[in-house]
């Protein structure tokens, strides 16, 4: 089969796991236990061996078939309307909330049930169901057994799945279920697919129609706490909902994306597992949550980070953790999977956790600074120890090379953005000193901060070109320099910074406003593009910033989702999806356009 484009997928979440459903009605990705657990469907990464669940009109892909889809307002419940020559039918998809769960209870005890409700809108529409589970990333072929009530149970290794439809008996065909039926105008059929551990409690049993209504109420209850009064309210509310849907409710961690191994360019091996929580994204995420008026999510994320970091010692803090704070997320590949459009290898785990990345403490301490008013005049002992420990770590290590924020796997360099985040760590620690008690060595910290700044402006500035470069001693530009005005290292109006902004836009940008990270980067990086919006605003170019924001936001797919990158020539989405950093960038840029001085 021909694999759908990445932008063809909608995203479902129960704040425990995520699923992707294509425009043609096929659920091609679901890791039901939690975001980073083994999949039961991964046709996304192998069209033949990955497993899927397709539910759509038989006419999908033939002349006369047309699709319209949208999220139900303020939810991640996806409604797809299929118009066919025989009539129209709607399929509404969701991952179920626990019955009665509301707002921040959503996801704590999610039942791991996929809901699919079919509604006849007009005519008589022939439908086709094709269900082919393949647990553990396609390694397992389950036994399928029919139950007396018309359901089908699939058992393989540690997994048990039960597929049901009230009033429609299902029949197993060896390793799959295929069924055709007709839906008439006004008819409603509810399907549910429930997951459970093979040796735990049995899969939950829900009424799909009732559970779908309850799930929509659960999503909408978030809006009672999340009130945003700035520009672009619909976009911000939607991105905030996506970020909530990427949050692992049990711990408060936010996963960078719901997928693994979707490539930065088709046919190359730059494809990684993003189903973990990066500390680097921490301060940006906290800012986005505050902008979108999500204080509970911000506080829970902070608590997760403090617990995951633990007592700070001499060793670098890992850049990423598992969703419950696991440090060892060692990487391995799945040679039995071909990869998206043949772009292997498929990776599980991410060895970037082993890298030295000097920017991480700056992100964490910056987040403490942002939360300072909520944390009180005297920080809790654990938070004080964490900040002091991270600050001392930066003071001792900032002169070392590292892998930088883009995590290259070749060699370490003296990346400018890493040094700037070291400056951020020392600067915010100095400002936090009154809340840190006796552990704060303000005079020494301020001296280190000033030394870092002087070093960056001396060794990171190319006198010949008049711009700040990506690494000391290198003439190459890096779009990460756009982050400098955002964190307050240099004003956007400073001649050195202004020249750098112009050079990045000219040499790394495109007509659509998308910004590549460096020369040779295969596609525009959505976050960097939104950083440019913020830089233009901080430089006083409000109208141009607003136009750029509109162009970048227009690159989202038809249901408002961003992947990590966008092909400059075709507009195709690339990289893992939905990408938290892309939506974080949109939220923060929208707020910058609302209030230029907001921090």
pLDDT tens-digit readout, 488-544: 999 999 999 999 999 999 999 998 899 999 999 989 999 999 999 999 999 999 999
Domains, the chain, ranges and CATH? Answer: 6-223 (2.70.98)
Alpha-carbon dihedral 35, 36, 39, 42, rounded to 10 degrees:
90
Q: From CA 120, how far away is CA 81, in angstroms rounded?
A: 10
pLDDT of 109 over the 90 cut:
yes
Q: What is the pLDDT of residue 1?
A: 59
The Cα 228–Cα 83 span in angstroms is: 36
Q: What is the helix (H) or strand (E) element at residue 419, kind and residue range?
A: helix 416-436
Contact 508, 479 (CB under 8 A): yes
Please write the tens of the pLDDT for every residue from 251-269: 999 999 999 999 999 988 8
Give tens-digit pLDDT for 443-491: 999 999 999 999 999 999 999 999 999 999 999 999 999 999 999 999 9
- For residues 320 and 329, the answer to whether their CB atoms sit within 8 Å is yes
Q: What is the pLDDT of residue 64?
A: 83
User: Could you tell me which residues come within 8 angstroms of residue 458 by beta carbon, excluding any fewer than 6 positions away?
Assistant: none
| Token pair for 289 | 């949550």
Mean pLDDT along residues 99-118: 93
| pTM summary value | 0.96
Q: Does residue 393 have a pLDDT over 90?
A: yes
Q: Across the chain, what does the average pLDDT equal?
A: 94
Burial 170-203 (b: 16+ CB within 10 A, else e): bebeeebbebeeebeeebebbbbbbbbeeeeeeb
Residue 399 pLDDT more than 60?
yes
Q: How many CA atoms lie within 13 A of 443 on its CB side?
A: 0
- As a whole number, mean pLDDT of residues 583-595 equals 94
Q: Which of 32-36, 60-64, 553-557, 579-583 has the lowest mean pLDDT?
A: 60-64
C-alpha to C-alpha distance for 190 and 195, rounded to whole angstroms: 17
Report helix angle 295-309 to 381-397, nearest 10.
Answer: 60
Instruction: Give the number of other CB atoms < 10 A from CB of residue 23.
Output: 21
| 146: confidence class by pLDDT, cuts 50, 70, 90 | very high
CA atoms of 498 and 222, how far apart (whole Å): 40
Distance between first and last Cα of the chain: 48
The secondary structure of residue 434, as a DSSP letter, is H
- The tokens of 87 are what? 């009539």
In terms of pLDDT, which residue wins out, 35 or 288? 35
Parallel, antiparallel or unpaired: strands 113-132 and 467-468: unpaired
pLDDT surpassing 80 at residue 201: yes
- Residue 274's nearest CA partner among 35, 56, 556 is 35
Q: Is a pLDDT exceeding 50 seen at residue 599?
A: no
- The answer to whether 184 and 64 are in contact (CB under 8 A) is no
């Amino acid at each position: 089969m021909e694999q759908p484009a990445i932008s063809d997928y909608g995203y479902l979440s129960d704040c425990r796991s995520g699923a992707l459903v294509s425009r043609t009605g096929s659920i091609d990705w679901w890791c039901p236990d939690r975001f980073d657990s083994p999949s039961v469907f991964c046709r996304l990464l192998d069209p033949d061996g990955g497993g899927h669940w397709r539910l759509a009109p038989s006419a999908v892909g033939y002349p006369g078939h047309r699709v319209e889809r949208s999220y139900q307002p303020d939810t991640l419940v996806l409604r797809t309307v299929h118009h066919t020559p025989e009539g129209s039918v709607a399929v509404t998809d969701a991952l179920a909330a626990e019955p009665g769960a509301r707002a921040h209870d959503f996801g704590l005890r999610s039942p791991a049930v996929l809901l699919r409700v079919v509604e006849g809108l007009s005519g008589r529409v022939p439908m086709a169901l094709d269900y082919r589970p393949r647990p553990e990333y396609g390694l397992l072929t389950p036994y399928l057994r029919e139950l007396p009530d018309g359901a089908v149970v699939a058992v393989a290794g540690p997994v048990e799945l039960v597929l049901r439809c009230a009033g429609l008996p299902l029949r197993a065909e060896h390793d799959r279920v295929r069924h055709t039926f007709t839906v008439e105008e006004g008819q409603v059929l509810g399907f549910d697919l429930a997951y459970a551990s093979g040796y735990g409690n049995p899969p939950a049993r829900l009424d799909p129609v009732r559970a779908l209504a309850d799930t929509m109420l659960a999503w909408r209850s978030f809006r009672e706490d999340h009130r945003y009064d700035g520009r672009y309210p619909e976009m911000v509310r939607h991105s905030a909902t996506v970020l909530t849907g990427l949050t692992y409710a049990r711990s408060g961690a936010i996963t960078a994306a719901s997928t693994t191994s979707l490539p930065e360019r088709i046919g190359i091996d730059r494809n990684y597992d993003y189903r973990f929580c990066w500390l680097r994204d921490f301060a940006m995420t906290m800012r986005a949550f505050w902008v979108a008026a999500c204080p509970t999510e911000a506080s829970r994320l902070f608590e997760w980070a403090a617990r995951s970091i633990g007592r700070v010692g001499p060793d670098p803090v890992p850049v990423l953790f598992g969703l419950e704070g696991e440090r060892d997320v060692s990487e391995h590949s799945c040679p039995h999977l071909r990869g998206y459009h043949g772009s292997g290898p498929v990776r599980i785990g991410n060895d970037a956790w082993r890298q030295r990345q000097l920017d991480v403490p700056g992100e964490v301490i910056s987040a403490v600074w942002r939360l300072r008013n909520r944390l009180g005049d005297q920080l809790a002992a654990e938070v004080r120890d964490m900040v002091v420990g991270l600050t001392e770590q930066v003071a001792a290590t900032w002169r070392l090379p590292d892998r930088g924020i883009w995590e290259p796997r070749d060699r370490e360099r003296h990346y400018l953005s890493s040094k700037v985040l070291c400056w951020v760590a020392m600067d915010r620690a100095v400002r936090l000193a009154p809340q840190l008690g006796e552990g704060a060595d303000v005079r020494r910290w301020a001296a280190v901060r000033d030394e870092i700044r002087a070093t960056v402006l001396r060794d990171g500035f190319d006198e010949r070109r008049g711009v700040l470069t990506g690494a000391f001693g290198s003439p190459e530009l890096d779009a990460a320099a756009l982050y400098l005005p955002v964190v307050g290292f240099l004003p956007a109006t400073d001649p050195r910074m202004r020249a750098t902004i112009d050079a990045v836009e000219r040499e790394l940008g495109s007509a659509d406003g998308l910004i590549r990270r460096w020369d040779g980067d295969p596609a525009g990086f959505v976050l960097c593009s939104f950083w440019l919006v913020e830089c233009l605003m901080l430089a006083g170019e409000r109208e141009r910033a607003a136009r750029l924001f509109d162009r970048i936001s227009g690159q989202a797919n038809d249901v408002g989702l961003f992947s990590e990158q966008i092909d400059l020539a075709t507009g195709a989405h690339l990289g893992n999806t939905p990408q938290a950093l892309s939506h974080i960038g949109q939220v923060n840029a929208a707020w910058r356009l609302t209030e230029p001085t907001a921090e």
